[in-house]
Structure 1
């Protein structure tokens, strides 16, 4: 659904505002952030060598906390990346160190340009913010990924405590507490937060301190 909305917002049959390759690039960029929970800076720094379509893996190098990590990707995400790469490789450098998401001149997409495109999408598609920020942000795609992942684990009976360590590693957080913050965005998991606080504070089931 997200990719369909992005395609709808980026394409204008009467007067295309963005060339076809660029349309596919932004559609794939925003889709990858939503599907893999990347930071925008991480996605923009990707090179061709970082995207392993055969193995279905993504290598994120030297991130916010100077760490690198390898991320497994869903088959549907790999398919979309492959389609974009085919279109990209017909026009730009195919060396492994070349940018995966390319600008007109073959360099890395500029963050300011990406932010402007996302703003145009908001206006065209009528997106509204549901949080504390006045407008939807690209980073909200990462937040949605994390929250939805925890919701799915809860629905399938996974141990949230164990799962949060996996999510912490996948997202590239430096501290597990940063990952637990996402629980506050899920009303159904507020009981989990309360239980953890009670154990931390030493409160028994009757509300008395131990």
Structure 2
């Protein structure tokens, strides 16, 4: 049950054998300025033992603490897809380099060393990790250590004292209207023709369109509701919530999308092969499925997109550029930035304006020209 004793320095100390994240039992000391304060901490440790919850220790290794943080804290705070990515980043990049360090011995120089090492590390693609990925790894470590600060295991968050590398936003390369039409002429014969049309005309994210279910679509009304996303992380399909509250949205579909979606059930039946096997968490009525009835692998979408671009004899780009193409074309046609924000599901209008500033600048110039026409010397 533990004991509470008064120390020579006037503080009170309690000692309890607690459960550790590794499943072992270890004696843990807690302190208080009064007997009641130390006893409250003792009772909290005993309550953790009763619930089977590990009690952290500032002297534990970082890999042990990160395991505890993921399994008992992050899993409840994060979307499933985000949590799955956090786990992969901890396992593949943080633990191999800093895992054996004591939590209370971690220093800013250790974190700087991690950043420098990651800048030379190759990811699963075989390419050196991008600054954006390193930023994300830094954010995971910073979040875990901040929880340790709140629990008074450490006095400061050393990750906050180290700046991650600057990441240059990826250049937006939307397709021109002519290139988009050439792509669609080729893509119209592909079994994912409806998917390409939805990506290009509604600006849905790849994970959002792959997570669409027939219960989300009203073909008679011509509407589509975004309710979920699907990703493949570490070889496992993960279904999750949309990226933000605004990402949960209802869109009106162009008639070309409605027509393509009406053909999709026949396409799915024609491609079905062998036993149909759903994965864990998969809805029963996904719009786009593989030949085995499972979600379409996002990497397969990327590969198919590359093949279609080659067949159409147009410059190569990313699947995500179809989303940028949708926004750019709409802005060029006079859609307001708020209308585009609602369509894309951005969490704030600032994201839309910053992302598509180049197009908005063109719109501003056209508006200025119109005012010249009205009130200029030649007006």
Q: State the alpha-carbon separation in 1 of the partners of residues 252 and 258 from structure 2.
A: 10
**Secondary structure at the counterpart of residue 136 of structure 1:** coil
For structure 2, the 5+ residue unaligned runs are 1-180, 228-240, 277-282, 369-379
**TM-score, normalised by the number of residues in structure 1:** 0.68
Match of 1:74 among 254, 276, 281: 254
Deviation per CA, 1:40-90: give whole Å up to 9, x if none. 111111111112111111011132225411111122221111122343356
SS in 2 for 1:71: strand
Of 331, 346, 355 in structure 2, the residue corresponding to residue 150 of structure 1 is: 331
* 2:195 is the counterpart of 1:29: yes
Structure 1 position 5 matched with structure 2 position 186: yes
Show structure 1 runs of 5+ residues with no match: 11-22, 129-134, 154-159, 195-210
Match of residue 87 from structure 1: 267
Q: What residue number does 2:337 align with? A: 164
- Aligned to 1:64, which of 223, 232, 243? 243
Q: Could you tell me how far apart the structure 2 residues matched to 1:144 and 1:193 are?
A: 22
SS in 2 for 1:145: helix
- Is 2:317 the partner of 1:136? yes
Which of the residues 207, 211, 230 maps onto 1:45? Answer: 211
User: Once superposed, what is the RMSD of the aligned Cα atoms?
Assistant: 2.6
Give the distance between the partners of 1:122 and 1:77, measured in 2 at CA. Answer: 20
1:85 & 1:139 partners in 2: Cα distance? Answer: 25
Greater RCO (Cα-Cα under 8 Å, separation 6 or more):
1
CA displacement at 1:34 relative to structure 2: 0.4
TM-score (norm 2): 0.39
What is the alpha-carbon distance in structure 2 between the residues aligned to residue 55 and residue 97 of structure 1?
22
Q: 1:182 aligns with which of 344, 347, 356?
A: 356
Structure whose CA Rg is larger: 2
CA contact (8 A) 2:271 2:291 kept: no
- Give the SS at the match of 2:356: helix
- What SS does the corresponding residue of 2:251 show, helix, strand or coil? strand
Q: Which residue of the partner structure matches residue 119 of structure 2?
A: none
Q: Partners of 1:193 and 1:64 in 2: how far apart?
A: 34
The answer as to whether partners of 2:200 and 2:322 remain within 8 angstroms in 1 is: yes
**1:101 equivalenced with 2:280 (yes/no):** no
